[in-house]
A = this chain, B = another copy of it.
Amino acid sequence: MKPKNVGITAPVGFQAAGIHCGIKKPGLLDLALCVSEVSGPIAGVFTKNCVAAAPVLLDRRHLRHRCGRAILVNSGNANACTGPQGVLSATTMARAVAEQLSVPLYQVFVGSTGVIGRTLPIDRITTAIPTLFSRLSVKGGAQAAQAILTTDLRPKTVSVQARIGGQLITIGGMAKGSGMIHPDMATMLAYFTTDAHITPSALQQALKAAADQSFNCITVDGDTSTNDTVLCLANGLAKNRVIAPRSRTSRDFERLLTEAAQTLALLICRDGEGVTKVVKVLVEGAKTVATAKRVAATIATSNLVKTALFGEDANWGRVMAAIGRSGVAINPTKVTVRFDEIGMVKQGVGLGLEAERQIARVFKQKEFTIAVHLGLGASRAHMWTTDLSYDYVRINASYRS
């Protein structure tokens, strides 16, 4: 089944809008609002960066009440490194929405993405709030998804459905973050809405699990931008039997949310800054999941590997060098490396020019898998990475101009 509406307005009882309020250049949407018909449980996962942006500080505080009604997001300015003034601005954003809805301040969540360290033009945002409310619509998911973008090329939305607890449940989502696939990613924002009837704890657990299996597989160094935020707001309007923690239905819901999150995560990868390839790095045969992840992350973040992907240069030696310097105690003579199904390294030694000729063909594909087996244990982990292209440099060398 396919829901009728797009992204965050796909579930029952959600409206959204996206408008231009004057932070970005004229004509570019820069303010998004999502409102549920009724308040409900909300879950959140945030950046681990010590220099957290003002909206993250505010959302963390509001999340203690575990109850949300609306989410307001601006693009073009990150409201980060803006000190007490920044927190005041984030609060002013939330208050403007709370007053329109006559709900407590804590039920409104805010997000910001864009340049760090510039004062947020808060007046332009508050002035635009009435217009934003007047534009709210169940068809507004697409515009909201457009309004949260920065260097993204395309808006990213998802909607999935499943029968859980006796009713059809819908999850909708939108995300931005074309830089996030990089170790020191630009901001990644992802917002999910659902009409599921679910307890706050079950929702938080499901969101954490879904983020770990999706966004955290592409955010390589952990949630590292100053603004990264993933929220999920549930309004219960599907009228299913309530989903409690650690129940069968909570596992079903978690699976559905993970599906939605992985879809957005791969959309982010494919839309990455200057990306021409998306490559899965799979590490098996590790002693622990943590070490498997560390090796995968070292390969996935290697600039030498990423430029080789861009150049379609089957330079598997750079993969070996990355494995060796990951900090994990490996035994080179046990390492196997395959590119898709083609073996290239066995017992740590290259298999010769014929194998290289074959993997050269794999490197020409838009998407493929680098599979490493460490030969040390039974644990595994994977990550998605992308190539490092001229366009990556171009976009990031001139981001603010």
| A182-B304, A186-B304, A307-B393 known; A324 vs B399 contact (CB < 8 Å) | no
From A78, A81, A186, A331, residue with most partner B Cβ within 10 Å: A81
> Is there a chain B Cβ closer than 8 Å to A205's Cβ?
no
Among the listed stretches A21-29, A246-254, A346-354, which one makes contact with chain B, having 4 or more residues with CB under 8 Å of it?
A346-354
Among the listed stretches A6-14, A34-42, A95-103, A221-229, which one makes contact with chain B, having 4 or more residues with CB under 8 Å of it?
A221-229
- A80 contacts which chain B residues (CB < 8 A)? 317, 320-321
> Is there a chain B Cβ closer than 8 Å to A397's Cβ?
yes
Instruction: Pick from B226, B310, B388, B396: contact of A308, CB below 8 A.
Output: B396
Residue of B nearest to A183 (CB): B303
Bits for A301-331, please: 1 = Cβ < 8 Å to B, else 0: 0111101101101011110111111001111
> Is there a chain B Cβ closer than 8 Å to A332's Cβ?
yes
Within the assembled complex, what's the spacing in Å between the Cα atoms of A245 and B284? 47
With A51-B324, A118-B350 given, can you name 16 additional A-B contacts, CB distance below 8 Å? A50-B332, A51-B325, A51-B348, A52-B332, A82-B350, A83-B333, A117-B320, A184-B321, A186-B304, A225-B321, A307-B397, A308-B396, A311-B397, A311-B401, A313-B400, A389-B397
Which residues 279-304 in A have Cβ within 8 Å of B in the complex?
A: 298, 302-304
CB atoms of A393 and B310 under 8 A apart: yes
How distant is A27 from chain B, measured CB to nearest CB, in Å?
Answer: 23
Within the assembled complex, what's the spacing in Å between the Cα atoms of A109 and B400? 51
A interface, by DSSP: helix, strand, loop or mixed?
A: loop
Which residues 346-401 in A have Cβ within 8 Å of B in the complex?
A: 347-350, 388-390, 392-394, 396-401
CB atoms of A330 and B50 under 8 A apart: yes
Residue of B nearest to A351 (CB): B117
> Is there a chain B Cβ closer than 8 Å to A124's Cβ?
no
- A128 contacts which chain B residues (CB < 8 A)? none
- A331 contacts which chain B residues (CB < 8 A)? 50
From A117, A184, A333, A349, residue with most partner B Cβ within 10 Å: A117
Residue of B nearest to A350 (CB): B117
Within the assembled complex, what's the spacing in Å between the Cα atoms of A370 and B225? 20
- A241 contacts which chain B residues (CB < 8 A)? none
- A392 contacts which chain B residues (CB < 8 A)? 303, 307, 393
How distant is A303 from chain B, measured CB to nearest CB, in Å?
Answer: 6
- A186 contacts which chain B residues (CB < 8 A)? 304
| A324-B226, A332-B51 known; A393 vs B397 contact (CB < 8 Å) | no
> Is there a chain B Cβ closer than 8 Å to A155's Cβ?
no
CB atoms of A310 and B350 under 8 A apart: no
> Is there a chain B Cβ closer than 8 Å to A189's Cβ?
no
> Is there a chain B Cβ closer than 8 Å to A49's Cβ?
yes
> Is there a chain B Cβ closer than 8 Å to A345's Cβ?
yes
- A153 contacts which chain B residues (CB < 8 A)? none
> Is there a chain B Cβ closer than 8 Å to A61's Cβ?
no
CB atoms of A184 and B116 under 8 A apart: no
CB atoms of A81 and B303 under 8 A apart: no
CB atoms of B226 and A83 under 8 A apart: no
How distant is A256 from chain B, measured CB to nearest CB, in Å?
Answer: 31
Within the assembled complex, what's the spacing in Å between the Cα atoms of A237 and B377? 54
Residue of B nearest to A311 (CB): B397
Bits for A55-75, please: 1 = Cβ < 8 Å to B, else 0: 000000000000000000000
From A115, A226, A324, residue with most partner B Cβ within 10 Å: A324
Within the assembled complex, what's the spacing in Å between the Cα atoms of A362 and B14? 49
> Is there a chain B Cβ closer than 8 Å to A179's Cβ?
yes
Residue of B nearest to A187 (CB): B321
Within the assembled complex, what's the spacing in Å between the Cα atoms of A389 and B48? 29
CB atoms of A304 and B118 under 8 A apart: no
Which residues 81-125 in A have Cβ within 8 Å of B in the complex?
A: 81-83, 85, 115-118
